[in-house]
């Protein structure tokens, strides 16, 4: 590839990729912290021994906003180049082949969750369903983080 066809140098591309991956991980962390706030734990590593209390609509909306930003960032900044087939590194393609089915499943669950609760008003009759769905969402966030870390490790490798 000539310099004219690829004006950005390898060090610049690596720096940009590193910044992109860092931004994705920061957005994931914001999502996880907002999620933890909803379910009443202080960090993703802590499990809740008590049941989830009633969820405030404003707090849920904040978490949904972070989650949608996180999903979009992953798709449009990291995964798009792999999906389009422009990623040439074999280790990245292999990691993506293993991780993508799970990432696709977690994306579907998260989008469904967002669609179901984007207009949540806090009604008592909806709280129990939300709590059950939050539990499943937490599992999906954990799975997605693990799968994403495999791809990130390959991209950084």
| Cα distance between residue 41 and residue 37, in whole Å | 6
| Cα distance between residue 86 and residue 67, in whole Å | 26
Among candidates 32, 13, 33, which has minimal Cα distance to 148?
32
pTM: 0.84
pLDDT at 1: 44
Q: Which CATH class is domain 21-40+52-156?
A: mainly alpha
| Cα distance between residue 64 and residue 74, in whole Å | 15
pLDDT at 69: 97
pLDDT band at 99 (very low <50, low <70, confident <90, very high): very high
Would you state the torsion angle of the CA atoms of residues 6, 7, 10, 16, taken in this order, to the nearest 10 degrees?
Answer: -110
pLDDT at 47: 57
| Cα distance between residue 115 and residue 87, in whole Å | 32
pLDDT band at 4 (very low <50, low <70, confident <90, very high): very low
Average pLDDT across the chain, whole number = 87
Residue 48 predicted with pLDDT over 70: no
pLDDT band at 140 (very low <50, low <70, confident <90, very high): very high
What percent of the chain lies above the pLDDT cut of 90? 62
pLDDT at 17: 82
């Amino acid at each position: 590839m000539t310099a004219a066809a690829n004006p950005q140098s390898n060090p610049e591309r690596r720096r940009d990729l590193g910044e992109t991956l860092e931004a994705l991980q920061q957005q994931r962390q914001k999502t996880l912290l907002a999620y933890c706030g909803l379910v009443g734990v202080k960090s993703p590593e802590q499990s809740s021994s008590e049941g989830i209390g009633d969820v405030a609509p404003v707090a849920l909306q904040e978490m949904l906003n972070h989650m949608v930003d996180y999903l979009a960032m992953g798709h449009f900044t990291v995964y798009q180049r792999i999906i389009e087939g422009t990623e040439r590194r074999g280790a990245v393609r292999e990691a993506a082949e293993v991780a993508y089915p799970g990432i696709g499943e977690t994306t579907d669950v998260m989008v469904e969750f967002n669609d179901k609760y984007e207009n949540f008003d806090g009604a008592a009759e909806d709280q129990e369903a939300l709590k059950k769905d939050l539990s499943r969402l937490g599992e999906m966030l954990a799975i997605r983080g693990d799968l994403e870390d495999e791809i990130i490790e390959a991209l950084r490798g």
